[in-house]
Structure 1
Amino acid sequence: MQEDFLHYIWKHKKFDASSLETTEKETISLVSVGQHNLNSGPDFFNAQLKIDNQLWAGNVEIHVKSSDWFLHNHETDAHYDTVILHVVWEHDSEVFRKDNTAIPVLELKEIVSKQAMEHYKKLFSKGQKWINCEADFADVADFKIKNWLERLYFERLERKSNAIDLLLKNSKNDWEAVLFKMLAKNFGLKVNGEAFLSMANAIDFSVVRKIQSNRTALEALFFGQSHLLEKPVEHGYFQELSNTYSFLSTKFKLSNKDVVPVQFFRLRPPNFPTIRLAHLASFYNEYQNSFSKIMETNTIEAFYEMFALSTSSFWESHYTFSKASKPSKKILTHAFVDLLLINTIIPLKFSYAKYQGKEIDDTIIQLIQQVPSEKNSIIEKFNSLKKVSENALQSQGLLQLKNNYCDYNKCLQCVIGSSLLHK
């Protein structure tokens, strides 16, 4: 038995409320179950009920067993002095207020709706299941799923916003510096994301500002800080980068001792860190006020155009410094830009609007819905149960659902789980 289920039972009155009695055989008449409290303190605030025709107003606390009151140390917490009813699945111990008056107890074990219990047991039945509700997921109404996924998407944005707040604090409220660090991390993708972020953290963004009109200097800065200029290569371009980095390192007192080395292993050549850093240098060479540009842009086509970047000529015939390859234009794909929108640009827009006290939810929704759905094992599995992911808002919502609700059996806090219990 889960305490969350008892909250659900009480909140939705999934019991026969016509003949309620306390464990001491006092009659209970419900006026209001109260307001569900999801923070610390009693579980339901401002409930109203009559006990033997005496009207009480106060809070309700819910436990699986009465003795959980002591397990949770409520007897020492003044916030629980206002509890007027202790609702439990099983009554196994009397509970007293500080003035030694007993708190009335309602035991649910024998009065809960059989239908609610059947739905609960089905939802939480043991077995090899990917998610608890997989057998009934397809039966949930489309509009409920879509509305829930939108809420989950903004819940995910809030979590990302917390990480951005920390970056902003560490960057002394410089939004351009925050953008640089986030872009760097996401240019590195999954394999080199942390390495690229450590590279960005090792560079004061004022250095980027001072040299960004010179693409070669930017490349030297990024490659040098990433330990990619430490093994000599017989090529004029490499020598130029090496000499430029040596000059920059002395001038700006640069250090890369804490920068994580990049990885090439098991990466396709277009995703090699050399190519990604070259593209990052091209972006900062192209856009002098990149943060303002990104904040003003709100269509996916405009972002595709913004990131239609070419590398310097050396990288058109190389993937690494040491080996030439067949000449080809190295461009950022739309799929790559989609990842930048999902993981960097839209979270940054959301956080900046919060920082300014503005409401841009509709703008965020319009932009994220233009981005195609992500493709991974979680999204594919949900779509096999029911086709629910058509754009990135929905795929991001599904990731939030699986990783923060399904995996922790939080079905009773989920709109989908609650709707199945309500059937």
Structure 2
Amino acid sequence: MKEEFLHFLWQYKLFNKANLTSVNGGVVEVLNSGSYNTNSGPDFLNSKLKIDDQLWIGNVEIHIKSSDWYAHHHEKDKNYDAVILHIVWEHDTNVFMKNNHPLPTVELQRFVQEDVLANYRKLFLKGQRWIPCEKEIGEINSFLLNNWLERLYFERLENKSVVIKELLQKSKNDYEVVLFQLLAKNFGLKVNGAAFLELAQSFDFSVLRKVRFDEEQLSALLFGQAGFLADEIEDSYYQQLQKEYAYIQHKQKLQPIAKHTFQFFRMRPSNFPTIRIAQLVALYVKCQNLFSRLIDISRLEEFYNLLSVEVNDFWKTHYTFETESKKSTKKLTKPFIDLLIINTVIPLKFVYEQGKGDINEESLLYLIQQLKPESNSIVSKFSELKIKTDNAFQTQALLELKNNYCAKKRCLQCAIGNYLIKL
């Protein structure tokens, strides 16, 4: 038995309310269970109770055993002076307040129905499962599930916003700087994301602003800072970038990051960091004031038109500086642009609108719902459990469900877990 479950039982009144009595036989009527307190102090605040027809307004403290009151030293803490009821699973000792009067105590296990306990054990006490409710989730009411997924999606945006706000603080609220850093990170995908973010943060964005109109200088800046221009390669384009970078490096006093930070091993050539850097260069050469343009548009086709870029002639015949390859445009594909919208554009729009105090949730939902569902192991497993997805909104919400609820066994905070326990 966990104390968290007792909080859940009290909050939702999942006990025999009609015959609730204290361990001393006093009749307890719950008029208001109170506000759940996630900070220090009693577990529920401003509860409203009748105990033997006497009205009480105060706080409720919950423990597994009565003796936990003393184990946690509540008798010495003035924050607990206004406790009017002690809820425990097992009553093993009497608790006295500072006035030496016994604290009314309810031993809750005597009033909880067996089916509620059985549902709880089914989620928490059985063997290892991919998610606790994997046998039941496929039968969940679609209305409940869809409402919960929408809430999960905005929780996911809130979680992503934490990193964005940290970047904004470091950049003195320069959204163009943060956009570049987020784009760089997501151009690197999972394998090279950290390396690309390190690259984006390895120089002041003012340097990029100065060279972004010149494709060769911008290429020199990014490839040079990434450590890719430190070799001896007999190629005129490579040598020209070396020359450009040497000038920029000296003028701006730049220090490149280590080339070995980037991974090529077991990657598809289209995802090589050299190609992703070349595409990032192409995007910034094509699009001036990129942040304001991304904020102003909302239709999916507009994003595709804006973000659809192809590399320069050199990279059309290369995947690395060293070797030539069959010619291809190496454009940003729609699936890759979708990832940029999911992981960069929408979270940044969310933070920007949040900062203005005017979040357009409908617009954000409309955009994410236009994107195709993502394909990954978590989404595939939910599909096996009869949870089908039609768009990226649903797949993003399922990722939040799995990672921040199921994996942490937060069933008591999950709408699905709530429903299954209350059945």
TM-score by length of 1: 0.96
The 1-side partners of 2:364 and 2:127 are apart by 39
Q: Per the alignment, in what secondary structure is the counterpart of residue 14 of structure 1?
A: coil
The 2-side partners of 1:155 and 1:97 are apart by 41
Note the alpha carbon deviations across 1:163-197, whole angstroms, 9 max, x for none: 11110111121110000100011011111111111
Q: Per the alignment, in what secondary structure is the counterpart of residue 110 of structure 2?
A: coil
The 2-side partners of 1:328 and 1:49 are apart by 74
Structure 2 equivalent of residue 146 of structure 1:
146
Structure 2 equivalent of residue 200 of structure 1:
200
Q: Per the alignment, in what secondary structure is the counterpart of residue 371 of structure 1?
A: coil
CA-CA distance at 1:348 after TM superposition: 0.4
The 2-side partners of 1:309 and 1:29 are apart by 68
What does 1:63-212 correspond to in 2, within 5 Å? 63-212=63-212
Is 1:316 matched up with 2:316? yes
The 1-side partners of 2:345 and 2:97 are apart by 53
Contact preservation (8 Å) 1:282, 1:309? yes
The 2-side partners of 1:330 and 1:144 are apart by 43
| AA matched with 2:354 | K
Contact preservation (8 Å) 1:43, 1:60? yes
CA-CA distance at 1:135 after TM superposition: 0.9
Is 1:333 matched up with 2:333? yes
* Residue 74 to residue 394, structure 1, CA distance change in 2 (3 Å): farther
| AA matched with 2:361 | D
The 1-side partners of 2:354 and 2:139 are apart by 37
Contact preservation (8 Å) 1:88, 1:107? yes
| AA matched with 2:302 | A
* Residue 260 to residue 173, structure 1, CA distance change in 2 (3 Å): farther
| AA matched with 2:155 | E
The 1-side partners of 2:158 and 2:260 are apart by 28
Q: Per the alignment, in what secondary structure is the counterpart of residue 29 of structure 2?
A: strand
| AA matched with 1:334 | K
What does 1:283-302 correspond to in 2, within 5 Å? 283-302=283-302
* Residue 364 to residue 309, structure 1, CA distance change in 2 (3 Å): same
Alignment length (residue pairs): 423
Deviates more, 1:28-37 or 1:284-293: 28-37
CA-CA distance at 1:308 after TM superposition: 1.1
Is 1:51 matched up with 2:70? no
CA-CA distance at 1:41 after TM superposition: 2.8
Q: Per the alignment, in what secondary structure is the counterpart of residue 173 of structure 2?
A: coil
Note the alpha carbon deviations across 1:39-67, whole angstroms, 9 max, x for none: 43322222111212211111111121222
CA-CA distance at 1:393 after TM superposition: 1.4
Contact preservation (8 Å) 1:199, 1:260? no
The 1-side partners of 2:73 and 2:62 are apart by 14
The 2-side partners of 1:292 and 1:115 are apart by 56
Contact preservation (8 Å) 1:227, 1:261? no
The 2-side partners of 1:340 and 1:72 are apart by 49
Q: Per the alignment, in what secondary structure is the counterpart of residue 331 of structure 2?
A: coil
Contact preservation (8 Å) 1:198, 1:259? no
The 2-side partners of 1:157 and 1:318 are apart by 37
Contact preservation (8 Å) 2:227, 2:257? no
| AA matched with 1:40 | S
Contact preservation (8 Å) 2:287, 2:306? no
The 2-side partners of 1:69 and 1:349 are apart by 47
Q: Per the alignment, in what secondary structure is the counterpart of residue 407 of structure 2?
A: helix
Is 1:276 matched up with 2:238? no
* Residue 386 to residue 70, structure 1, CA distance change in 2 (3 Å): farther
* Residue 255 to residue 83, structure 1, CA distance change in 2 (3 Å): same
RMSD between aligned alpha carbons?
1.5
Task: Return 5+ residue gaps in structure 2 as ranges.
Answer: none
Structure 1 equivalent of residue 409 of structure 2:
409
Note the alpha carbon deviations across 1:16-43, whole angstroms, 9 max, x for none: 2222221122221222222223343322
Structure 2 equivalent of residue 236 of structure 1:
236
The 1-side partners of 2:95 and 2:294 are apart by 59
Note the alpha carbon deviations across 1:123-166, whole angstroms, 9 max, x for none: 22321311111111112101111111111111111111111111
* Residue 345 to residue 317, structure 1, CA distance change in 2 (3 Å): same
The 1-side partners of 2:71 and 2:252 are apart by 58
The 1-side partners of 2:233 and 2:303 are apart by 36
Deviates more, 1:205-214 or 1:296-305: 296-305
Contact preservation (8 Å) 1:202, 1:258? no
Contact preservation (8 Å) 1:215, 1:282? yes
* Residue 75 to residue 159, structure 1, CA distance change in 2 (3 Å): farther
Contact preservation (8 Å) 2:227, 2:258? no
Identity level (%): 50
Structure 2 equivalent of residue 14 of structure 1:
14
Contact preservation (8 Å) 2:226, 2:258? no
Contact preservation (8 Å) 1:226, 1:260? no
| AA matched with 1:3 | E
Q: Per the alignment, in what secondary structure is the counterpart of residue 126 of structure 1?
A: coil
* Residue 39 to residue 149, structure 1, CA distance change in 2 (3 Å): farther
The 1-side partners of 2:88 and 2:163 are apart by 39
| AA matched with 2:333 | T
Contact preservation (8 Å) 2:65, 2:88? yes
Task: Return 5+ residue gaps in structure 1 as ranges.
Answer: none
The 2-side partners of 1:67 and 1:298 are apart by 59
Q: Per the alignment, in what secondary structure is the counterpart of residue 18 of structure 1?
A: coil
Deviates more, 1:21-30 or 1:257-266: 257-266
What does 1:302-381 correspond to in 2, within 5 Å? 302-381=302-381
CA-CA distance at 1:72 after TM superposition: 3.6
Q: Per the alignment, in what secondary structure is the counterpart of residue 109 of structure 2?
A: coil
Contact preservation (8 Å) 1:202, 1:259? no
